[in-house]
Amino acid sequence: MRTKKSGDDSNGGFYAYLGVLCCVLIISVIAVVSIRFSVSGSPFRSSVSAVNSGTVSIAELQKKVIAAALINQNPSRAISSDVSLYRNSSSPQIPKTSTLVKKDDKIEEGLARARAAIRKAAGVRNLSGGIYRNPGAFYQSYKEMERRFKVYVYEDGDFIMIHDGPCKDIYASEGRFISEMEHGNNKFRTRDPHSAHVYFMPFSVTWMVKFLYVPPSHSLTPLKEFVSDYVRLISIKYPFWNRSGGADHFMLSCHDWAPFASKGNDFLYNTSIRVLCNANSSEGFNPQKDVSLPEIYLYNGVVSPKLQSPPPANISRPYLGFFAGGLHGHVRKTLFDHWKGNDSDLRVYEYLPKDMDYPSEMLRSKFCLCPSGYEVASPRVVEAIYAECVPVMLSDHYVFPFSDVLNWDAFSVQVNISDIPRLKEILLAVPEDKYMKLKEGLRAVRKHFELNRPALRFDMFHMILHSIWLRRLNLRL
């Protein structure tokens, strides 16, 4: 009797155990499926539960952008109301896990060897500096970059404001870099995020302005909110942002409003590498971590044919200096107050006469004035380099592109804003032999400011990467 009862109890316990096990398995499957759909759905879907009908995903906003464009509406007006719905929804806290992927020690060891090699090369004193601050250090660093540097590009968000950018206007630096990084035949991009040194967030602030900004609201909030959502996405979906606080991540934009858009995330603004044309040190640009991006105006996608092959160095340039441009900002106002229409040799125009064209006038001038406008950067700097017209930098707080390796004194003249009244005196005081050396510097440095398709060694694309490489070298995770 005791034995039989014991056997019945044993069989009953066994079946109860199987029932509990089945329940656990079913619950686990449901949990896995739920997590998978919440993480791997639309890249920009709100993390709010689907039952919250007040949320709007950025994927849905994209559809509105395209629909508005097809019927010639203002896309920003079509989606402005939905942006507020998306941002005002309450998102649950995503639990932080301790299972973050660690950076391979071999990457840090490789960077340590690169630093040592660069320091050794920097100590060589028998090299003439020329256009470089330290040519030995630069060439060794560039060599190490080509040998080691790997960039991971986040692939999320395949729609209009990501993975694309302008390539045929004043913001061409932005679009051409994104295009070359994602579609060019370069050896720097890696598909393995665990082998990357840095992580590229390929959103276009220029396209954000085009599709999200509501004129004339003067509100940049939609731009900052888009950036905030993007960073939130990659920080949830991937472990790399949280591992470094964004320090090994970079964004790139040539639009004037890019610094403000980057304020959408505090770590992006204060910690990440921001590659910006608007490199104003008085407005948060930090040259220790940020990169100054050259601004170049590509008319219809190409440099003006007149600037592609400047005349020989011995061809006379009849005019001392030249500038033409709108009255934008206090620097140009000062320039116009003293020099607009006042001198036949130092020619300053607000509006260029119809019988004159800008490239031709640059080619006929010894010095090309490059005053800041509303923001510090100007495409005239690169145009002057192409024209072998010595750039005269008239700017407050502008961090010159690639100035961590380039010696701008070897190919430009820098004049304080307070000295603009003495501008002609300053330029006339430049000795002829120094002027010829400045022109030699322009010919030598030109390759670093050229955008090629496909990209070539030492051109602008590679110099941008090299500046990012230097910031990564200075970072120890």
Q: What sign does the CA torsion over 455, 196, 241, 86 have?
A: positive
Task: Of 97-101, 103-107, 151-155, 391-395, give the lowest mean pLDDT range.
Answer: 97-101
The distance of Cα 319 from the centroid of its chain, to the nearest Å, equals: 36
Element (H, E) at 152: strand 151-153
d(CA 292, CA 471): 12
Q: 194 phi and psi, to 5 degrees?
A: -75, -15
Instruction: Return the bridge partners of 273, or none.
Output: 250
Rg, Å, the chain Cα set? 28
Mean residue pLDDT across the chain = 82
pLDDT surpassing 70 at residue 180 = yes
Q: For 102, how many CA atoms within 13 A lie in the half-sphere containing its CB?
A: 5
Instruction: Tell me: pLDDT of 417 over 90.
Output: yes
Q: Give this prediction's pTM.
A: 0.79
Please give the DSSP secondary-structure letter assigned to residue 377. Answer: -
Q: What is the pLDDT of residues 211-243, one digit of tens each?
A: 999 999 989 999 999 999 999 999 999 999 999
Band of pLDDT at residue 158, cut at 50, 70 and 90: low
The helix/strand count (H/E) of the chain reads as 18, 10
Distance CA 401, CA 183 (A): 24
- C-alpha 167/C-alpha 173 separation (Å) is 7
Q: Are 201 and 172 in contact (CB under 8 A)?
A: no
Percentage of residues in the chain having pLDDT higher than 90: 69
| pLDDT tens column, 91-150 | 333 334 433 445 578 999 999 999 999 999 998 865 666 999 999 999 999 999 999 999
Residue 477 banded pLDDT, cuts 50, 70, 90: confident
